[in-house]
């Protein structure tokens, strides 16, 4: 008898299965609890050369700003699919980049390995013909650009503290570069000053009061060079790890309406060679720990910079180029999409992934440019999850993570369900908790569902299945269509173990989404 039950379960389709745990979601659609930017999804183009290595591997290849193949058709199509994708140009070496333009550029060096250099490298140089080619790519693909400016120009190391860098920022080279950029009509959404120089820093640090004065100078440059308020780039900073005292002082010094985006970095999974990395990315209790940082930065903004908005300016999960077997695989989506959901509930406007291409955590494979599973998760978020965030809760397993937003392209709401359990599946029903008396929501429109699972059930696979079908580039190297499965709205949402599901409820009447 027992064998018959097992056989019966196997014969059911992938999404209609036996022995699932029933879960009821309560969605409050009366008011939004937070708001993101329309272009919440962001990815970084980094400066690392091929010789950037960690843990006996060199995973960056030709993915850096200075050696990227910008004529690659897959790259262009992957960016264009977001229409638009926010791209941040920056990273560890940005504070060693000289812009080869104007009288301020005395020399134009190449990045070279140097033991006493910042992050083990010498200064490098951005030629303007290279910058022209980059902007050609951005213009053709409709990308939104954040450019990370070198914040170490004109400074020197403190005599009393080897990690502390002192002196005023010299903006001359940045001015010449920004002037060239503006004169060419290149569209820049925002300029960010420095990378990981705040708090205790990483390879170098600057005091908060000095940084505040410097970003005022950057703001002045932007206003002088971009006189039309409608197209004037935003100013971001400080682009590093959150330190409460430092960030508060920075906001107090820079003052009102200077810093538009208060950018901070997240690498909450530890080093990329951590053998427990695969456990961390699917442990909801571990992933919850970083929420305190999101709460604290929101508190800093409320108290000292209400004109600013919180941005995750860089997040790779695991630092030092990510985990070799984890950061590009299906299982990384548990960390990545959960962080997108979590930061959005804490009123973060932008979440910038490290990186678009390169390292082990690129949305695109370093050598082939073929999208990794997280690319498709990011694209579905961008297309389905609107900027108004709704309150959603359930009393089921903590391994089922759920987030809700107003739908981006249609009336109704979108849900993101992440099942981190490797054994338990769920049957999910939705209740409308907008009014005094919650009631089960049963729509009249067919429900749109996007079920993401790994090939062969292997969470370390880099092949992603959408509703059971592998996602592969078309013959013309285009991103494949991401079509939903249409489901009878009277049926519960089926969420198998080790899976991620996006759901669109078109008929859900949420006043916050009107």
Alpha carbons 217 and 211: distance in angstroms, whole number = 10
- What is the DSSP code string of 112-124? -B-TTSGGGB--E
Expressed in angstroms, the distance from the first to the final Cα of the chain is: 53
Alpha carbons 192 and 150: distance in angstroms, whole number = 9
Q: Token match 């000292």: residue? A: 304
Alpha carbons 263 and 51: distance in angstroms, whole number = 28
Phi then psi dihedrals of residue 203, to 5 deg: -100, -15
Q: Token match 């058709």: residue? A: 73
* Pairing mode of beta strands 485-487, 447-454: antiparallel
Alpha carbons 465 and 260: distance in angstroms, whole number = 39
Alpha carbons 209 and 413: distance in angstroms, whole number = 44
Query: Do residues 335 and 374 make contact, with C-beta atoms less than 8 angstroms apart?
Result: no
What residues act catalytically? 196, 314
* Pairing mode of beta strands 270-271, 318-319: parallel
Query: Do residues 103 and 155 make contact, with C-beta atoms less than 8 angstroms apart?
Result: no
Compute CA distances 306 → 348, 491, 497, whole Å. Answer: 13, 44, 41
What's 57's DSSP letter?
A: B
Those residues whose C-beta lies under 8 Å from the C-beta of residue 380, and which sit 6 or more positions away, are 450, 452, 482, 502
Query: Do residues 368 and 462 make contact, with C-beta atoms less than 8 angstroms apart?
Result: no
Spatial CA neighbour of 509 closest among 408, 441, 415 = 441
Alpha carbons 270 and 262: distance in angstroms, whole number = 23
Spatial CA neighbour of 462 closest among 380, 377, 371, 378 = 371
Spatial CA neighbour of 46 closest among 69, 68, 65 = 65
Three-state DSSP class for residue 414: strand
């Amino acid at each position: 008898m027992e064998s018959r039950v097992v056989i019966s379960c196997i014969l059911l389709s992938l999404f209609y299965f036996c022995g699932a745990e029933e879960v009821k979601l309560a969605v409050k659609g009366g008011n939004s609890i937070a708001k993101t930017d329309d272009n919440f999804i962001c990815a970084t183009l980094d400066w690392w050369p091929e010789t950037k290595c960690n843990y006996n591997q060199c995973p960056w290849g030709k993915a850096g700003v200075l050696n990227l193949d910008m004529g690659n058709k897959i790259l262009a199509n992957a960016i264009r699919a977001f229409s638009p994708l926010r791209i941040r140009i920056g990273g560890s070496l940005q504070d060693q980049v000289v812009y080869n333009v104007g009288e301020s550029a005395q020399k134009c060096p190449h990045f070279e390995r140097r033991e006493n250099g910042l992050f083990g490298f010498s200064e490098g140089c951005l030629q303007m013909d290279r910058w022209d080619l980059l902007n050609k790519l951005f213009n053709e693909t409709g990308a939104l650009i954040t450019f990370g400016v070198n914040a170490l120009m004109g400074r020197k190391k403190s005599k009393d503290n080897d990690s502390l860098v002192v002196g005023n920022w010299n903006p001359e080279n940045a001015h010449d570069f920004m002037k060239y950029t503006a004169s060419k009509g290149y569209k820049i959404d925002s300029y960010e000053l420095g990378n990981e120089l705040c708090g205790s820093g990483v390879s170098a640090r600057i005091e908060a009061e000095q940084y505040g004065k410097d970003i005022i100078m950057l703001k002045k440059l932007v206003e002088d060079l971009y006189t039309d308020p409608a197209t004037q780039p935003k100013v971001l900073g400080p682009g590093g790890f959150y330190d409460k005292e430092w960030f508060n002082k920075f906001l107090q010094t820079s003052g009102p309406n200077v810093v538009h985006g208060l950018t901070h970095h997240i690498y909450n999974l530890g080093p990329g060679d951590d053998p427990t990395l695969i456990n961390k990315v699917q442990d909801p209790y571990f992933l919850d720990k970083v929420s305190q940082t999101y709460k604290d930065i929101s508190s800093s903004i409320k108290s000292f910079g209400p004109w600013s908005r919180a941005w995750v300016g860089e997040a790779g999960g695991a630092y030092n180029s990510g985990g070799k077997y984890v950061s590009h695989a299906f299982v990384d989506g548990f960390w990545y999409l959960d962080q997108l959901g979590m930061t959005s509930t804490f009123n973060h406007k932008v979440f910038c992934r490290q990186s678009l291409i390169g390292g082990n955590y690129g949305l695109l494979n370093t050598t082939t440019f073929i999208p990794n599973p997280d690319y498709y998760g990011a694209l579905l978020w961008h297309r389905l999850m609107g900027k108004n965030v709704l309150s959603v809760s359930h009393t089921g397993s903590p391994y089922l993570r759920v987030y809700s937003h107003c739908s981006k392209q249609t009336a109704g709401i979108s849900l993101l369900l992440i099942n981190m359990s490797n054994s338990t599946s769920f049957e999910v029903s939705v209740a409308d908790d907008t009014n005094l008396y919650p009631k089960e929501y049963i729509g009249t429109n067919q429900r749109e569902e996007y079920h993401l699972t790994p090939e062969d059930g292997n969470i370390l696979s880099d092949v992603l299945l959408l509703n059971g079908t592998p996602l592969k580039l078309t013959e013309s190297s285009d991103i494949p269509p991401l079509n939903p499965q249409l489901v009878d709205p009277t049926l519960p949402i089926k969420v198998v173990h080790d899976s991620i599901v996006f759901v669109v409820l078109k008929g859900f009447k949420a006043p916050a989404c009107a």
